[in-house]
Structure 1
Amino acid sequence: MKNEIHELKNDVKDAVAYIRVLEKRINDMDNG
């Protein structure tokens, strides 16, 4: 079970990083 939670945390980190990249791209579009 511990392994599954660890995997889930990594997935969440990846998702958050991905969303931040998308947000940055959207902000760049708005500014440019």
Structure 2
Amino acid sequence: MVNFNEYMNEIDFSGFKELFKIIIEKELQCKRSL
């Protein structure tokens, strides 16, 4: 099992967080339009 905290420290996660935020916002917009 990989230590998740160490793994996150090694990777620049900011780009992934931005992408994830965009996906969540699109999901919410789709649910509102129903």
Could you tell me which residue of structure 1 aligns to residue 33 of structure 2?
28
TM-score norm. by structure 2 comes to 0.65
Structure with a larger share of its residues in helix:
1
Q: CA RMSD of the aligned region, Å?
A: 1.5
Could you tell me which residue of structure 1 aligns to residue 3 of structure 2?
none
Structure 1 runs of 4+ aligned residues shifted over 6 Å read none
Q: Percent identity?
A: 4
Q: How many residues align?
A: 25
Q: 2:15 aligns with which of 2, 6, 10?
A: 10
Unaligned 5+ segments in structure 2 are 1-10
